Amino acid sequence: MEVPAAPAQPMASPANSTTSAIATAPAKAPVIINGRPYVRPTPRQQFDDYLRDSYGLPALARTSARALYAQGRGKPQEWGQDWPGFGQRFGSATAVTVIDGNVRYGMEMLFHEDMRYIPCHGCSAKHKLENALLAEVTARHDSDGHRFFTLTPTVTDMTGPIIANACWVPGKSGIDGFVGSRLIFATRIGGHLFTEFVLERRHHDPKLPD
């Protein structure tokens, strides 16, 4: 007597297999940078950061600090120390900020760098200081946001002072702008430290291990 054959099992379609594999695959752990998940910025986000850094409140704070410093020193002497003199210094400092910001944004896009400042959430004072200083000689790259040495911050922060001193600051030359670019670095680092030790105090993240 013949035994009836068992009914054939339906084969899984490739699409169903692929869907199942994706569903069962473990989720990729997020990259953590300075205590927070890192997501590489989109071109639109980089443009928004450029506008804020060149024309927003951070730019105004750095520009005002440099203009007040120059006013206090009375440099250049040809502009005097009255209100018109301060206006000239503030205008010159504003032009430097805009030049630096445009060059910075252009190099950032050209070399596919992430030049945003990422504060260190929940870090010790030592790590916050290191983060503020390293931001002026490094940038972040790729989807994992790894930090690497770059000349972009150095080159861009020198460009504005060199152009200003070579073109419109009386009695000065490009060499004076090269030397004077240290004030750009100082105000940028000062802004980073303000972010780390003042603005970040509003957050109550758990302290990270040293």
pLDDT tens digits for range 119-161: 999 889 999 999 999 999 999 998 899 999 999 999 999 999 9
**Domain span holding position 138:** 36-202
153 within domain boundaries:
yes
208 within domain boundaries:
no
Residues in the chain: 210
Supply the pLDDT for residue 22: 46
Spell out the residues 6+ positions from residue 104 whose beta carbon is closer than 8 angstroms to its own: 50, 53, 54, 115, 152, 153, 156, 157
Using only C-alpha atoms, the chain has a radius of gyration, in whole angstroms, of 26
pTM of the predicted protein model: 0.80
93 within domain boundaries:
yes
Q: Rounded CA gap, 159 and 136, in Å?
A: 15
Supply the pLDDT for residue 179: 93
The count of domains in the chain is 1
Supply the pLDDT for residue 4: 52
10 within domain boundaries:
no
25 within domain boundaries:
no
Listed as ranges, residues in the chain with pLDDT below 70 are 1-28, 202-210
Supply the pLDDT for residue 11: 55
